[in-house]
Structure 1
Amino acid sequence: MDVLVAGGHGRIALRLLRLLAEQGHTARGLIRSPSQAADLTAVGAVPVIGDLDNDETLDAYVKGADAVVFAAGAGPGSGPARKRTVDLGGAVKLADAARSTGVRRYVMVSSIGADRPEAADESMRPYLRAKAEADDYVRASGLDFTIVRPGSLTDDPGTGLVRVATELGNRGSVPRDDVAAVLAAVLATPATIGKTFEIFTGDTPIPEALSGL
């Protein structure tokens, strides 16, 4: 499988790209800076240089993929405007490119709280609004989507054990390792198509958790 991961230098994305490459897939990471290419090559991924913000279309990067994963983000130090151009605009642009190039499978890395952005504190509200609108756009796109909403992210070692919730509004944490493992498993699990779910550290092996969706 050929998978393009937008935001390819992110902390979840690099973990995902490594897993996909280890599984024998063509793991391509979309990055803006050529200086990041060596980090992708080091995990077995193929760097793809492109500007999620400013390129008019992502068609050239998406073409030929079997699936795309949106794992980009403006980051905690960015303002509301950039969250709309990256967390929302980038996700929309990737969905449009998938549709125009005939790529059906789209996996979105979203966030807990995106179902109720107005309940968040003022600093988080712009981010969650952008995520909520991006999720809505992808759901309405006609693509074979899966929206994954991780809990609070940690750098603890992954356990491979998670709790999956389709009833939204939960709280908890989850290692980035396990988020990446869930994303890789989602791509191989057709039962996740059309689903939106939250993930947290739990006691259920990832394949079993996803098969129950």
Structure 2
Amino acid sequence: MQKIVIWGAASGLGAAMVAHFVEQGFDVTAVARNPSKNVMLDKVSTLTCDATDKEQVEAAVDCIANDAWVISSMGSFQSENPVDYIGHRYLIDALESKGVERLVLVTSLGCGDSWSTLSDKAKMVFGSAVREKSLAESWLQTSTLSYTILRPGGLKDGGATGTASLSQHKEVHGSISRAEVARLIEQLLNTESSIGKVFQCVDV
């Protein structure tokens, strides 16, 4: 049974990914600052970790099997101590040190070379978080990990639709359910050609 380790699992997209991968029969480990925020985490292995603390990240990664697939959607919108960049920097470094190779990093539309596609209003509201996530992308892209980066559109509730698509190198706008993002992440993890690439996704 393939091991999946999900960082940022207590709420939002991370919680949706836990639900998806448990349903698909994966061996799930959930990592969160406060696992008690998600009652579903009682059904899986959990690791408590504040990703802004380097030592806690290293200790959590030490508990991960080297052949595990790691997924992270960690974020902290408008936090005074955002995890988006520094938490992922600590995670990437720790994974490299331990020899865990596979990581899918979930950021958002507007990161990296898609910054220019954000509206002025979006840059004003979300710009700081997007810039932090862009730094995380750059840190990952210059690492030795077998990575994939996924930039979803606006996240919403609802089940997986099966209708969202992955794209590259073009401007897209729209929204997508968290459950559908989880489905696409499974697809990317099972596709070796996705390694070293950046994708975006929105739904119809």
TM category, shorter:
0.7 to 0.9
1:63-78 mapped onto 2 (5 Å cutoff): 63-65=64-66, 66-75=68-77, 78=78
1:5-20 mapped onto 2 (5 Å cutoff): 5-20=6-21
Say if 2:54 and 2:90, in contact at 8 Å, map to a contact too.
no
Among candidates 168, 188, 191, match of residue 189 of structure 1: 191
Partner deviation per Cα, 1:55-77 (whole Å, 9 max, x = no partner): 425233223151211111103xx
- Corresponding residue number in structure 2 for 1:167: 169
| Separation (CA, whole Å) in 2 of partners of 1:98 and 1:3 | 14
- Corresponding residue number in structure 1 for 2:84: 87
Deviation at residue 32 of structure 1 after TM alignment: 1.4
- Corresponding residue number in structure 2 for 1:28: 29
- Corresponding residue number in structure 2 for 1:107: 104
Say if 2:49 and 2:56, in contact at 8 Å, map to a contact too.
no
Say if 1:57 and 1:97, in contact at 8 Å, map to a contact too.
no
1:154 aligned onto 2:142 = no
- Corresponding residue number in structure 2 for 1:52: 51
Partner deviation per Cα, 1:104-152 (whole Å, 9 max, x = no partner): 0010001001134475522221111111111111111011000000011
Deviation at residue 28 of structure 1 after TM alignment: 0.8
TM-score by length of 1: 0.83
Identity across the alignment (%)? 28
Say if 2:89 and 2:139, in contact at 8 Å, map to a contact too.
yes
Say if 1:110 and 1:147, in contact at 8 Å, map to a contact too.
yes
Ranges in structure 2 where 5+ consecutive residues have no aligned partner: none
C-alpha spacing 1:18/1:194, structure 2 compared with 1 (3 Å): same
- Which amino acid is 1:112 matched to? L
> RMSD between aligned alpha carbons?
1.9
Deviation at residue 95 of structure 1 after TM alignment: 0.6
Ranges in structure 1 where 5+ consecutive residues have no aligned partner: 203-213
SS in 1 for 2:124: coil
Partner deviation per Cα, 1:10-47 (whole Å, 9 max, x = no partner): 22112211222233321111111253363312xx4222
- Corresponding residue number in structure 2 for 1:207: none
- Which amino acid is 2:199 matched to? F
Say if 1:18 and 1:45, in contact at 8 Å, map to a contact too.
no
| Separation (CA, whole Å) in 2 of partners of 1:189 and 1:52 | 28
| Separation (CA, whole Å) in 1 of partners of 2:115 and 2:89 | 19
